[in-house]
């Protein structure tokens, strides 16, 4: 038996999970707790409090998934004044082996801890067990990564593909790009500005400002409140979620058009990633948005835009495509990564 500590650390919320691993039973969760990240000056006091409440011995290994880049075993969180270093954490927590990994890399590891119930398959394709695996996930931003098999294990590689250029494919998307260039006074538009939670709001604003559909008073009030809170660390409303919900219910034409453009762009970018990697091991859609708009992802044009790549269409139709339904996939991945230390 080996005692492991897994963590999913975000700017707002941190989840810690104590796990016991054995050759016969695999990973078993002993204790799990959510923390408000901003209530703590550092990760160390949070972990100490968690272990005391769990009445647990000191874990032998730990892995923490970080919402931000990890460089030379150190990480500075994007939206939190924490600087984490594995050597310092190991010394102060008395945990012999500690690893820091990017949160999207954790999703890559977590794929292997998912059950069939944790996935919804959009396209069966033709699975090749030795082929690369791709992951893409729209949430606060747009994460991308890939896995390559090395021996008996997969090596996970995060990327910054979400910051690649947005590639408009029709006149409306060209207008959207020009709108974003002018609105933000920028020289280029990344795909993350369109395919993300903030991207949903940006598309809505574009359609609203171009008067391409009428705006409902209740949605308008929520979006205006959010716009007036620009620059604040915490917002009182989440317009992306409201727009997605209204589109899902079919009660607001402007929101429906917004989600249509979003899903088409999402599918096209997933297809771009698939063209670069040829992930016949599967393309996995992670992030918080996909599961929340699942019916739209299933019945809309996501797959059409995923495969609509000219002469490459037949190749992309053979790529297995899955949506990850389990939102704790990153935490599962951190535990699996800790077990491999």
What fold does the segment set 162-324 form as a domain?
A: Hexokinase; domain 1 (3.40.367)
Is 185 annotated as contributing to ligand binding?
A: no
**pLDDT value at residue 24:** 67
Q: What is the pLDDT of residue 56?
A: 85
pLDDT over threshold 90, residue 40: yes
Q: Has 38 been labeled as part of a binding site?
A: no
Asked if residue 141 belongs to a known ligand binding site, the reply is no
- Has 9 been labeled as part of a binding site? yes
Domain map of the chain by residue range? 2-114+328-339, 162-324
pLDDT of residue 171: 96
Q: Does pLDDT of 116 surpass 90?
A: yes
In angstroms, the Cα distances linking 219 to 36, 208, 241, 254, 261 are 29, 11, 11, 10, 18
Instruction: Confirm or deny that 12 is annotated as ligand binding.
Output: yes
Buried b (16+ CB within 10 A) or exposed e, 312-338: eeeebeebbbbbbebebbbbbbbbbbb
Six token digits for residue 128 = 């090749």
pLDDT at 323: 98
pLDDT at position 207 is 97
The answer to whether 332 and 326 have CB atoms below 8 angstroms apart is yes
8 is in an annotated binding site: yes
Instruction: Give pLDDT tens digits for 253-296.
Output: 999 999 999 999 999 999 999 999 999 999 999 999 999 999 99
Residue 316 and residue 132: Cα distance in Å, rounded? Answer: 14
Which one, of 264, 266, 246, lies nearest residue 300 by Cα? 264
Q: What is the mean pLDDT of residues 291-316?
A: 94
Mean pLDDT of 237-255: 94
Residues contacting 38, CB < 8 A, separation 6+: 12, 80
- Per CATH, the homologous superfamily of domain 2-114+328-339 is ATPase, nucleotide binding domain (3.30.420.40)
Q: What is the mean pLDDT of residues 50-63?
A: 92
pLDDT band at 25 (very low <50, low <70, confident <90, very high): low
What pLDDT digit, counting tens, does each position of 129-180 carry? 999 999 999 998 899 999 999 988 899 998 889 999 999 999 999 999 999 9
């Amino acid at each position: 038996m080996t005692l492991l500590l897994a963590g999913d650390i975000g700017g707002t919320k941190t989840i810690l999970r104590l796990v016991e691993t054995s050759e016969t039973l695999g990973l078993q969760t002993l204790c799990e707790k959510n923390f408000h990240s901003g209530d703590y000056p550092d990760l160390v006091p949070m972990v100490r409090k968690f272990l005391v409440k769990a009445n647990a011995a000191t874990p032998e290994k730990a892995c923490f998934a970080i919402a931000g880049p990890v460089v030379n075993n150190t990480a500075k969180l994007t939206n939190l004044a924490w600087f984490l270093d594995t050597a310092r954490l190991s010394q102060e927590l008395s945990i012999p082996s500690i690893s820091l990994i990017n949160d999207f890399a954790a999703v890559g590891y977590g794929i292997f801890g998912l059950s069939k119930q944790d996935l919804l398959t959009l396209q069966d394709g033709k699975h090749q067990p030795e082929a690369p695996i791709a992951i893409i996930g729209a949430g606060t931003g747009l994460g991308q990564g890939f896995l390559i098999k090395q021996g008996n294990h997969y090596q996970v590689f995060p990327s910054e593909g979400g910051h690649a250029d947005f590639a408009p494919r029709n006149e409306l998307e060209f207008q959207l790009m020009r709108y974003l260039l002018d609105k933000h006074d920028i020289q280029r538009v990344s795909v993350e500005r369109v395919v993300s939670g903030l991207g949903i709001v940006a598309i809505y604003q574009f359609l609203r400002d171009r008067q391409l559909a009428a705006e409902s008073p209740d949605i308008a009030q929520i979006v205006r409140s959010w716009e007036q809170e620009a620059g604040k660390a915490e917002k009182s409303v989440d317009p992306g979620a409201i727009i997605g919900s209204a589109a899902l219910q079919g009660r607001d034409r402007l929101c429906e058009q917004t989600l249509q453009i979003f899903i088409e762009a999402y599918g096209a970018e997933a297809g771009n990633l698939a063209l670069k990697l040829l992930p016949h091991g599967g393309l996995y859609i992670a992030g918080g948005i996909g599961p929340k708009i699942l019916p739209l992802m299933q019945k809309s044009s996501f797959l059409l835009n995923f495969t609509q790549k000219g002469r490459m269409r037949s190749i992309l139709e053979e790529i297995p495509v899955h949506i990850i339904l389990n939102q704790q996939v990153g935490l599962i991945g951190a535990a699996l990564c800790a077990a491999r230390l």
